[in-house]
């Protein structure tokens, strides 16, 4: 996902001695958090500008997870470098993130126009490295975090790396092993964000359910949730990336009993439904995925569940794919993302036999999404004429009287949205609205 950033907190825009930064943050929300932390750590204040010609620092935070993301990252670096070269006073060009960790040495040889390379191995020193590239002294304190998403929500990353060894995934080799952030640091950052009047905090990590297990604490996530809820300050607390194996009874009972602001929203990346393919993937959960869905729904029948699937994994036959389609029809999930398998360099799956042709992968992806679209359309009709709380994210870019928001069962960037209009609707506010139309993935509401 390409995202040129803007700063939501207007108080950061009026400093004469501020550092002017052109930023493109690619990939996942975890990357977005890394970018925001870097900006917060720069000396003085960061002002985000619209093009490199206005900047002191041009920063590209890259994604290197799958082939298309690598291509997008390289293309963005080259385009930004070209734009920098065309200015009379070129900015410092810094490239950060997963692509650097994966191909840093090779890229440095091929792109001498880049002034600084920031790998994920040195996340804590990114602000210092960027400051030195600018020729200025790094700061020693940490101000309130720079906020670049909509004024209604912010991502809160609680750890780095991954303890799993899925055969298709390059993340452990890029981001390293699981390293949970200290709870005290997470709570301080949550407090900073809620002081900005941000209504929704979204916890992100490669696997939230593993939080604290690198410290020998099997109940780390539960303890963190307890502390966050006790601290308060937010209207919604959402969790993304809950591995199936970690969605156990204790966690589910806690979420059910806690209630608001902790949302009964479960993002559980299943990746497939057939045990043969799950085993071939090296997934930490290779049993019947119906079990984890049943555990969730037996406690919270109203829970919203989203997942992702990979189609065209090596060895996936028509029978395996049919089993996946049957599972999706039966499970009737709220949100589904489908991705074709990409053979990533350095992963075990890339050298496996029985690679599936690209055309077959795309055909399967489209077919599965068509199944899910019909399910989503049917499930959303139950909201017709109901009154719900909608958190307003932003004004529609084309229609000034229309705004884009989300209900509790819609996460930003990955799910559908609620288009909303009427009195007292403005970004950052939670408003009560009536659903007047349902679509395949989106809702339309009126206050």
Q: What is the pLDDT of residues 87-112, one digit of tens each?
A: 989 999 999 999 999 998 899 999 99
Residues 34 and 62 sit within 8 Å (Cβ to Cβ): no
**Domains: count for the chain:** 3
Structure tokens at 300: 């919270």
**Domain identity same for 255 and 365:** yes
**Last residue of some domain: 102, 134, 166?**
134
**Domain identity same for 15 and 62:** yes
Tracing tokens 């050298």 back to the chain, one arrives at 351
pLDDT given for residue 247 in this prediction: 95
The model's confidence at residue 371, banded by pLDDT at 50, 70 and 90, is very high
Residues 4 and 32 sit within 8 Å (Cβ to Cβ): no
Whether residue 1 is predicted with pLDDT greater than 60 in this model: the reply is: no
pLDDT given for residue 16 in this prediction: 61
**Domain identity same for 356 and 394:** no
CA 48 to each of CA 36, 187, 205, 396: distance values in angstroms, whole numbers, following the listed order? 11, 27, 26, 21
**Last residue of some domain: 78, 100, 134?**
134
Neighbours of 426 (CB within 10 A): 11
Residues 310 and 356 sit within 8 Å (Cβ to Cβ): no
> Looking at the domain assignment, is residue 142 inside a domain?
no
**Domain identity same for 367 and 393:** no
**Domain identity same for 182 and 294:** yes
pLDDT digits (tens, 9 = 90+) for 279-321: 999 988 777 899 999 999 999 999 999 999 999 999 999 999 9
Predicted TM-score of the model (pTM): 0.92
- In this structure, the strands spanning 443-446 and 418-421 are parallel
- The mean pLDDT of 224-231, rounded to a whole number, is 98
**Domain identity same for 375 and 239:** yes
Buried b (16+ CB within 10 A) or exposed e, 177-211: ebebbebeebbebbebbbeeebbbbbbbbbbbbbb
pLDDT digits (tens, 9 = 90+) for 159-185: 999 998 899 998 888 898 999 999 999
> Looking at the domain assignment, is residue 141 inside a domain?
no
CA gap 95, 104 in Å, rounded = 10
Biggest distance spanned by C-alpha atoms of the chain: 64
CA 404 to each of CA 140, 305, 400, 417, 429: distance values in angstroms, whole numbers, following the listed order? 38, 22, 11, 7, 11
Whether residue 12 is predicted with pLDDT greater than 50 in this model: the reply is: no
DSSP string, 53-104: GG-SEEEEEE--SSHHHHHHHHHHHHHHHHHHHTSSSPPEEEEEEHHHHHHH
CA gap 207, 190 in Å, rounded = 19
**Domain identity same for 66 and 110:** yes
Ranking 273-287, 330-344, 427-441 by mean pLDDT, the lowest is: 273-287
**Domain identity same for 223 and 363:** yes
CATH classification at residue 430? 2.40.50.140
**Domain identity same for 214 and 296:** yes
CA gap 83, 113 in Å, rounded = 11
Element (H, E) at 431: strand 430-438
**Last residue of some domain: 380, 403, 433?**
380
Return the SS3 of 327: helix
Average pLDDT, the chain: 92
Whether residue 426 is predicted with pLDDT greater than 80 in this model: the reply is: yes
Write the burial class of residue 242 (CB in 10 Å: 0-12 exposed, 13-18 middle, 19+ buried).
buried
pLDDT digits (tens, 9 = 90+) for 193-226: 999 999 999 999 999 999 999 999 999 999 999 9
> Looking at the domain assignment, is residue 367 inside a domain?
yes
**Domain identity same for 410 and 333:** no
pLDDT given for residue 3 in this prediction: 60
CATH classification at residue 46? 3.40.50.12160
**Domain identity same for 301 and 406:** no
Q: What share of the chain is helix, strand, coil (3-state, %, to 5)?
A: 40, 20, 40
For residue 417, what are the domain limits?
A: 384-446
**Domain identity same for 170 and 286:** yes
């Amino acid at each position: 996902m390409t995202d040129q950033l803007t700063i939501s907190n207007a108080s950061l825009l009026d400093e004469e001695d501020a550092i002017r930064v052109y930023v493109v943050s690619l990939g996942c929300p975890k990357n977005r958090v890394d970018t925001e932390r870097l900006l917060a750590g720069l000396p003085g204040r960061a002002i985000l500008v619209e093009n490199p010609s206005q900047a002191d620092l041009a920063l590209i935070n890259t994604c290197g997870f799958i082939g298309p993301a690598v291509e997008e990252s390289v293309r963005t670096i080259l385009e930004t470098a070209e734009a920098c070269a065309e200015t009379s006073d070129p900015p410092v060009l810094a490239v950060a993130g997963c692509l650097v960790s994966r191909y840093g040495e090779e890229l440095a040889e091929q792109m001498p126009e880049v002034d600084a390379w920031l790998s994920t191995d040195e996340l804590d020193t990114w602000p210092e490295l960027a400051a030195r590239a600018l020729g200025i002294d790094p700061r020693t304190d940490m101000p309130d975090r720079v906020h670049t998403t909509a004024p209604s929500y912010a991502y809160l990353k609680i750890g780095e790396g991954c303890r799993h060894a899925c055969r298709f995934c390059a993340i452990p080799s890029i981001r390293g092993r699981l390293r949970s952030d200290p709870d005290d640091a997470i709570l301080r950052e949550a407090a900073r964000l809620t002081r900005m009047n941000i209504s929704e905090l979204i916890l992100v990590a490669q696997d939230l359910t593993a939080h604290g297990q690198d410290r020998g604490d099997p109940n780390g996530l539960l303890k963190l949730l307890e502390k966050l809820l006790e601290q308060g300050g937010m209207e919604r607390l959402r969790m993304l990336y809950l591995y199936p194996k970690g969605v156990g009874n204790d966690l589910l009972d806690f979420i059910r009993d806690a209630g608001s602001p902790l949302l009964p929203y479960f993002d559980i990346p299943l990746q497939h439904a057939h045990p043969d393919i799950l085993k071939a993937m090296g997934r930490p959960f290779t049993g019947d995925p119906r079990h984890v869905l049943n555990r969730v729904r037996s406690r919270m029948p109203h829970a919203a569940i989203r997942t992702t699937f990979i189609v065209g994994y090596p060895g996936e036959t028509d029978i395996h794919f049919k089993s996946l389609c049957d599972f999706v029809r039966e499970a009737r999930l709220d949100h589904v993302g489908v991705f074709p398998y990409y053979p990533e360099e350095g992963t075990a799956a890339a050298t496996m036999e029985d690679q599936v042709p690209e055309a077959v992968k795309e055909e399967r992806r489209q077919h599965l999404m068509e199944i899910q679209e019909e399910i989503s359309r049917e499930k959303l009709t139950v909201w017709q004429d109901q009154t719900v709380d909608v958190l307003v994210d932003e004004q529609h870019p084309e229609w000034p009287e229309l705004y884009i928001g989300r209900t509790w069962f819609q996460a930003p960037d990955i799910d559908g949205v609620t288009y909303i209009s009427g009195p007292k609707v403005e970004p950052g506010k939670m408003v009560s609205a009536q659903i007047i139309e349902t679509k395949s993935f989106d809702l339309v509401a009126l206050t």
